[in-house]
């Protein structure tokens, strides 16, 4: 259960982001990615520090896109685990050199070629979008279940599906071979993030 944050969606739903993350973890989220596409570096760093402080030590906190913000948060003493990179961000090979062997690297992929390029340097892959989603307007065309399952089967790394995923999708995707599901609006945009996370987690468990 991988939560990808969106402060704007959380605010519209009436939540402070650190409080939302804490509630989602209580409901069953097991990893958190802090994603703020349009925030300046200092504001993004402050958000990462606040989320990391609100997240229990056993739940990894991943910084979206910005290797510099990850390194700054680590230098500030925050318990951040690594970075997640898109296809327009630094190549995973260069990011690995910058963050060292101990940091987690995830990479978003939607094709076999992207998967082959990222895999030697990454720890996991984000496969998507599963379906069209408004939280990432520049996303590739939706993959659907068949292509998602095929990429998951071909991967040598754990894979997380993302893109418009709901509780109904969770058991189907697990049965298709993905290692986890990532959600944004399904948790950030609801009145009770803990209940939403628990519902997703329960649905995921039925896909064993």
Would you say 136 is a known binding-site residue? yes
Instruction: Provide DSSP, 135-146.
Output: T-TT-----HHH
Would you say 33 is a known binding-site residue? yes
Would you say 25 is a known binding-site residue? no
Would you say 159 is a known binding-site residue? no
Is residue 60 a contact partner of residue 73, using CB atoms and an 8 Å limit? no
Alpha-carbon gap, residue 186 to 145, rounded angstroms = 19
Would you say 89 is a known binding-site residue? yes
Number of neighbouring beta carbons within 10 Å of residue 153: 11
Would you say 110 is a known binding-site residue? no
Would you say 37 is a known binding-site residue? yes
Would you say 64 is a known binding-site residue? yes
Would you say 191 is a known binding-site residue? no
Would you say 133 is a known binding-site residue? yes
Quick one: which H or E segment has residue 181? strand 180-183
Q: Estimate to the nearest angstrom the gap between the alpha carbon of 200 and the chain centroid.
A: 15
Would you say 184 is a known binding-site residue? yes
CA angle (33 as vertex; 32, 36 as ends), nearest 5: 135
Would you say 86 is a known binding-site residue? no
Long-range contacts of 53-56 (CB under 8 A, 24+ apart): 53/18, 53/78, 54/18, 54/19, 54/21, 54/22, 55/21, 55/22, 55/25, 55/79, 56/25
Torsion sign, CA atoms 103, 128, 178, 198: positive
Would you say 164 is a known binding-site residue? yes
Would you say 144 is a known binding-site residue? no
Instruction: Detail the residues annotated as belonging to a binding site for Mg(2+).
Output: 65, 89
Q: Which residues are annotated as a binding site?
A: 33-37, 64-65, 89, 108, 133-136, 164, 184-185
């Amino acid at each position: 259960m991988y939560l990808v944050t969106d402060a704007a969606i959380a605010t519209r739903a009436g939540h402070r982001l650190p409080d939302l993350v804490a509630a989602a973890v209580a409901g069953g989220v097991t990893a958190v990615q802090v994603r703020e596409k349009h925030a300046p570096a200092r504001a993004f760093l402050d958000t990462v520090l606040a989320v990391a402080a609100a997240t229990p030590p056993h739940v990894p906190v991943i910084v979206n896109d910005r290797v510099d913000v990850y390194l700054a948060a680590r230098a500030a003493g925050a318990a951040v685990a690594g970075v997640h990179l898109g296809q327009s961000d630094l190549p995973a090979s260069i990011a690995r050199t910058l963050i060292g062997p101990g940091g987690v690297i995830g990479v978003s992929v939607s094709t076999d070629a992207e998967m082959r390029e990222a895999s030697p340097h990454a720890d996991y892959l984000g496969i998507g979008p599963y379906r069209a989603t408004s939280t990432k307007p520049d996303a590739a065309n939706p993959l659907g279940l068949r292509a998602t399952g095929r990429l998951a089967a071909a991967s040598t790394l754990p894979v997380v599906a993302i893109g418009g995923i709901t509780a109904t999708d969770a058991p189907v995707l697990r049965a298709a071979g993905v290692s986890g599901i990532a959600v944004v609006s399904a948790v950030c945009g609801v009145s009770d993030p803990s209940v939403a996370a628990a519902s997703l987690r329960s649905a995921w468990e039925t896909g064993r």
